[in-house]
Amino acid sequence: ASPSVRDVVTPEGNGMSSETILFRADWTVDGEPAGRDCVARIEPELDKIPVFPTYDLAMQFDVMSLVAEATDVPVPETLWYEQDRSVVGAPFFVMGRVEGEVPRDVLPYTFGDNWVDSAQGDQLRRLQDSAVAALAGIHQIGPDTHDLSSLQYDQPGATALERHLGEWEGYLEWVTADRRSPLLDECFAWLRANLPTESGPDRLSWGDARIGNMLFRDFEVVGVLDWEMAGIAPPEVDLGWMAYLHLFFHDLAVDLGLPGMAAFMRPVDLADTYAAASGLAPKDLRWHIAYA
């Protein structure tokens, strides 16, 4: 019998850049029933308030496949990529579904009344350490170990960090167009003027490196998701992003009179854990948090 699809749902979640569909696929093998819970990611329509100026779904599929092949970092199994728009109206890829809990973005987990906020100290530490260990695992991949030429930014610059910064300066130009923000212009000028002279080696950068893009079971990472911002950068870029996103959510909570989670995901703790996991001591994390 031909494969069939059922239990199709769109999840509540943290992603905004593409459409995600959960479904169950059933088929037969040698007359015996078989099936699998799957997830499809569908390329967004770029003429409808896009998050990115371009969207490379094939790149995400390839990067996830590479991470699964080259590391022990848990990523959903990539099953197939379909470029033919006639199937569902846009390119898409299918991956295996991973069961787990995601720290929420809306409302942020720092606002309380959720599984992260209610966790005990040792559980939070396990979550934090597992997240950082996943980063260290991703960063085992670099241009010196694998062909990452397709992830190189087409920007001027002597280093991967300088080219990465140039890519985001270009993104700012695209987002703001003729509505420039003096504050953001000042921020990028400061980043340029204070660009670190030392940083870690060039590595595969996850990009949107935050716990809200991870699935957890028993406070351990079981799935690393959302690879649309993947590129090449020193490890501190991902670590700074991870630290900043928690600081941002914590500050939002405190501004509203809530306790927040000041003892969780502290930059100094993330740096120490990363150094222990990777053998590489992060440099100038303050700059990278400001960059994030």
Residues assigned a catalytic role: 208
Contact between 134 and 221 under an 8 Å Cβ cutoff? The reply is: yes
Q: Report residue 144 as tokens.
A: 């010196």
Q: Report residue 26 as tokens.
A: 């059933």
Contact between 68 and 141 under an 8 Å Cβ cutoff? The reply is: no
3-class state of residue 181 by DSSP: coil
Which among 100, 82, 99 has a CA at the least distance from the CA of 91? 82
Q: Report residue 191 as tokens.
A: 């980043």
3-class state of residue 283 by DSSP: coil
* Count of CB atoms situated within 10 Å of the CB of 71: 18
Which among 206, 191, 209 has a CA at the least distance from the CA of 265? 209
Tell me which residue has tokens 């995601």: 102
